[in-house]
């Protein structure tokens, strides 16, 4: 049986993650996950695909969600009182219009200096009602798509072995920015076939494969692009039917609750991989 060995949430889309030993799982994912997003002055989302320096920004949000701290190497940390009632503005995420609450000029100036590009910070408004796609519909904040990204250690282990065959060293799991890492499945990519998962008192429904992009080329500690891996190697054995390469799976939240490192992950329904 698989169990949870890592939990991570990413308060600001594209920025560094926060590890947790336990967390509240809401209908939109781990609490505070992708609640904030950095956008251009025109409201277009910023991503490590184009702005890899997002990776060096380390956000920390208080448990009540009322205060956000932003830190980065060589820059004084900024403490931001979170605004959840201010004026809404239109923001663009993958060409779809959503709403966001601007978090003020201090956050905008700090991010603009660190990223070397004029930027604003927005928060998901309380009335946010985004519907995500896939086999199991759900909702999420400003995540790329579904509420949760799940990867097993055996999946990364297979990739690392194949990288080794090319003379390349192993990669850390944080290159793939998962929310939940599972251990205990001997067969790589078992998460592709899990259609219904029960973890703690929560329930998850499989939505779709996680199609990987250029973010996986960014070293998360330095914010530097590191070359063709892992996409080059994944292209040799993980081509997805819909295009691109797949690594990990996306899940919707069917029943919120609490999840903890050490919880069993019980699969109550299986299916065939879409890969």
What is the span of the domain harbouring residue 189? 3-7+22-29+132-270
Q: Is residue 63 part of a domain?
A: yes
Q: Is residue 15 part of a domain?
A: no
Q: What is the mean pLDDT of residues 256-261?
A: 98
Residues 144 and 169 in one domain: yes
Residues 136 and 229 in one domain: yes
Burial class (CB in 10 A: 0-12, 13-18, 19+), 250: buried
Write down the residue that tokens 């960014």 correspond to.
218
Answer yes or no: are the C-beta atoms of 192 and 210 closer than 8 Å: no
Distance, C-alpha 99 to centroid of its chain:
20
Residues 124 and 246 in one domain: no
Under the banding of pLDDT at 50, 70 and 90, the label for residue 46 is very high
Mean pLDDT over all residues of the chain?
97
Q: Which strands form 22-26's sheet, in the order they lie side by side? A: 29-30, 22-26, 257-260
Predicted local distance difference test score (pLDDT) of residue 230: 98
Predicted local distance difference test score (pLDDT) of residue 226: 87
Q: Is residue 16 part of a domain?
A: no
Predicted local distance difference test score (pLDDT) of residue 275: 87
Q: What is the mean pLDDT of residues 9-15?
A: 98
Predicted local distance difference test score (pLDDT) of residue 231: 97
Instruction: Write the pLDDT tens digit of every residue in 189-231.
Output: 999 999 999 999 999 999 999 999 999 999 999 999 988 999 9
Q: Flag whether pLDDT at 67 surpasses 90.
A: yes
Under the banding of pLDDT at 50, 70 and 90, the label for residue 80 is very high
Q: How many CA atoms lie within 13 A of 51 on its CB side?
A: 24
Predicted local distance difference test score (pLDDT) of residue 47: 97
Q: Flag whether pLDDT at 242 surpasses 90.
A: no
Last residue of a domain, one of 101, 129, 157: 129
Residues 248 and 190 in one domain: yes
Q: How many domains does the chain have?
A: 2
Q: Is residue 14 part of a domain?
A: no
Q: What is the mean pLDDT of residues 107-120?
A: 98
Q: What is the mean pLDDT of residues 126-135?
A: 96
Residues 106 and 142 in one domain: no
Q: Is residue 13 part of a domain?
A: no
Residues 252 and 156 in one domain: yes
Last residue of a domain, one of 112, 129, 146: 129
Q: Flag whether pLDDT at 15 surpasses 90.
A: yes
Return all residues near 59 (Cβ < 8 A) that are at least 6 apart.
10, 11, 12, 15, 16, 18, 36, 68, 69, 70
Residues 176 and 255 in one domain: yes
Residues 153 and 263 in one domain: yes
Residues 87 and 49 in one domain: yes
Q: What is the mean pLDDT of residues 99-111?
A: 98
Residues 208 and 252 in one domain: yes
Residues 160 and 39 in one domain: no
Predicted local distance difference test score (pLDDT) of residue 108: 98
Q: What is the pTM of this model?
A: 0.97
Residues 82 and 205 in one domain: no
Q: How many residues does the chain have?
A: 275
Under the banding of pLDDT at 50, 70 and 90, the label for residue 130 is very high
Write down the residue that tokens 């998850």 correspond to.
204
Give the ranges where the chain is alpha helix by DSSP (H): 105-115, 153-165, 231-234
Last residue of a domain, one of 129, 147, 182: 129
User: Minimal CA–CA distance to 181: which of 270, 249, 229, 257?
Assistant: 249
């Amino acid at each position: 049986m698989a169990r949870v060995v890592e939990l991570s949430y990413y308060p600001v889309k594209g920025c560094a993650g926060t590890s947790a030993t336990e967390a509240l799982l809401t209908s939109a994912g781990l609490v505070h996950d992708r609640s904030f997003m950095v956008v251009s002055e025109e409201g277009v989302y910023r991503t490590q695909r184009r702005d890899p320096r997002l990776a060096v920004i380390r956000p920390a949000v208080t448990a009540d969600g009322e205060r956000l701290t932003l830190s980065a190497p060589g820059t004084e940390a900024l403490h931001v009182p979170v605004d959840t009632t201010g004026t809404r503005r239109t923001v663009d995420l993958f060409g779809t219009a959503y709403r966001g609450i601007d978090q003020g000029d201090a956050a905008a100036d700090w991010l603009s200096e660190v990223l070397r590009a004029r930027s604003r910070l927005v928060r998901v408004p309380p009335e946010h009602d985004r519907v995500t796609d896939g086999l199991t519909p759900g909702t999420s904040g400003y995540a790329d798509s579904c509420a949760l990204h799940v990867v097993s250690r055996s999946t990364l282990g297979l990739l690392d072995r194949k990288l080794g065959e090319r003379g390349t060293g192993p990669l850390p799991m944080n290159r793939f920015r998962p929310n939940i890492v599972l251990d205990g499945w001997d067969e790589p990519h078992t998460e592709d076939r899990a259609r219904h998962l029960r973890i703690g008192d929560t329930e998850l429904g499989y939505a779709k494969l996680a199609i990987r992009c250029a973010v996986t080329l960014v070293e998360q500690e330095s914010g530097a692009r590191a070359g063709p891996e892992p996409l080059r190697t994944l292209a040799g054995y993980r081509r997805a039917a819909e295009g691109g390469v797949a690594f990990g799976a996306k899940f919707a939240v069917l029943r919120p609750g609490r999840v903890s490192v050490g919880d069993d992950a019980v699969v109550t329904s299986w299916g065939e991989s879409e890969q």
